[in-house]
């Protein structure tokens, strides 16, 4: 038997849209949670999972309607497959009838990497557009750095003395006084 499950999505997929898609996928029973998070309030999901047998296929509209994180998704997929049931996600084109859990997990891990990478790029681009560059702000301005170099070379102050004098770590002093390294080109 084909069993459908849905829940309110944070990404704007309506309850009606999900139910219609699950019915088109020939779901005989449709369980639906009216909250966006999967937690103690996911009574429909708990009921749905408890009733799955090895003759069933659980169908969802897309993966984010099943789980709120990759970890939850993997845990739920394992639970579904351990019950002997099959799983299918309509929009994600995932069907355990045609692939195994390891293939799905690999796809999910790759998907999460891509999502993180894309979000990072978007965030960095937005920061650049606001005039912000990456990295921390420099602790010492250029005149302080010049003074450190002068005290190091001409007055022979030690790294710990300079560190205490300017209130920074010894490694910060080291980065300022060491000569820039030349890059080796091939």
**Hey, where are the domains in the chain?**
2-112, 142-177
The reply to whether CATH 3.90.1150.10 applies to domain 2-112 is: no
Handedness of CA 72, 76, 79, 82 (dihedral sign): negative
Tally the C-alpha atoms within 13 A of residue 53's C-alpha that lie toward its C-beta.
Answer: 2
Enter the pTM of the model: 0.57
C-alpha R_g of the chain? 28
- 106-147: per-residue pLDDT in tens? 777 777 777 788 778 888 888 888 887 777 777 889 899 999
Would residue 9 show up in a list of annotated catalytic residues for this protein?
yes
- 8-57: per-residue pLDDT in tens? 866 667 899 999 999 999 999 999 988 766 554 568 999 999 999 999 99
Predicted confidence at residue 40, as pLDDT, reads 47
Please state, in angstroms and as integers, the Cα–Cα distance from residue 68 to each residue in 11, 17, 37, 116, following that order. 11, 19, 7, 15
Biggest CA-to-CA distance, the chain: 85
């Amino acid at each position: 038997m084909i069993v459908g499950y849905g829940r309110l999505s944070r990404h704007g997929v309506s309850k009606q849209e999900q139910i219609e898609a699950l019915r088109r996928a020939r779901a005989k029973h449709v369980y639906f949670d009216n909250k966006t998070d999967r937690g103690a309030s996911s009574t429909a999901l708990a009921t749905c999972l408890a009733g799955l047998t090895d003759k069933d296929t659980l169908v969802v509209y897309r993966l984010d309607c099943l789980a709120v994180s990759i970890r939850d998704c993997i845990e739920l997929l394992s639970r579904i497959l351990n019950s002997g049931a099959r799983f299918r996600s309509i929009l994600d084109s995932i069907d355990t009838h045609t692939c195994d859990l390891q293939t799905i997990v690999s796809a999910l891990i790759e998907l999460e990497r891509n999502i993180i990478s894309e979000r990072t790029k978007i965030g960095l681009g937005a920061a650049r557009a606001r005039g912000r560059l990456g990295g921390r702000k420099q602790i010492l301005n250029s005149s302080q750095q010049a003074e450190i170099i002068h005290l190091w070379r001409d007055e022979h102050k030690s790294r710990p003395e300079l560190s205490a004098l300017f209130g920074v770590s010894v490694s910060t002093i080291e980065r300022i006084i060491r000569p820039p390294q030349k890059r080796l080109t091939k």
